[in-house]
A = this chain, B = another copy of it.
Amino acid sequence: MTVRVQHEDFEPGVEIARLQREDAGAIVSFVGVVRGESHGEKLVSMTLEHFPGMTERELERIAKEARSCWSLQGVSVVHRVGNLKPGERIVLVVTAAAHRRAAFEAAEFLMDYLKTRAPFWKRELRASGEHWVEARGSDDAAAARWKRD
């Protein structure tokens, strides 16, 4: 299980290859990319602030939760902080499992939880100035669907 918060870029191919093993027939990855538009305006850049210490702990908690819900051979989460330009990679999740359904579900779970629980905040620089990104209700809804009653 790998969890990293870093300024520098990451290589999806390298992170996927790290989880490639004979007992993991299925490897799913998610790469998040900074989009070039926001609220109908061109995005100049995006700055990611986080809560050092808590971020890593929270990502580890989320990854452990995924491992307790699905039978996984490996989990990696890498999240960048600092200033990013449109088109740059921002987040990576990789899951490895014996079968594809577990790998897909766990990757989607990790992204949904990361978006609602990991202490990152995005500030956008657009033509109209700087704006803090508002949390989306759809992300809370996405995370809530994993809750067991």
Interface residues of A (CB under 8 A from B): 11-14, 16-17, 20-37, 86-87, 89, 98, 100-101, 103-104, 107-108, 111, 142
Contact = CB atoms under 8 A, between A and B. Distances in A.
A22 B13 CA distance: 20
Contacts of A34: 22, 25
How many identical subunits does the complex contain? 2
Given A104-B107, A107-B104, A33 B12 contact: no
| A interface: dominant SS | mixed
A93 to B, nearest CB: 10
A23 B12 CA distance: 19
17 contacts: A12-B12, A13-B16, A16-B29, A16-B31, A21-B87, A22-B33, A22-B35, A23-B36, A24-B33, A26-B33, A27-B31, A28-B28, A28-B30, A28-B31, A101-B142, A104-B104, A104-B107
Nearest to A30: B28
Given A22-B33, A23-B35, A30-B100, 9 more contacts: A11-B13, A21-B87, A22-B36, A24-B33, A27-B31, A28-B28, A29-B31, A30-B103, A100-B108
A30 B27 contact: yes
Contacts of A107: 28, 104
A142 B105 CA distance: 13
A86 B98 CA distance: 13
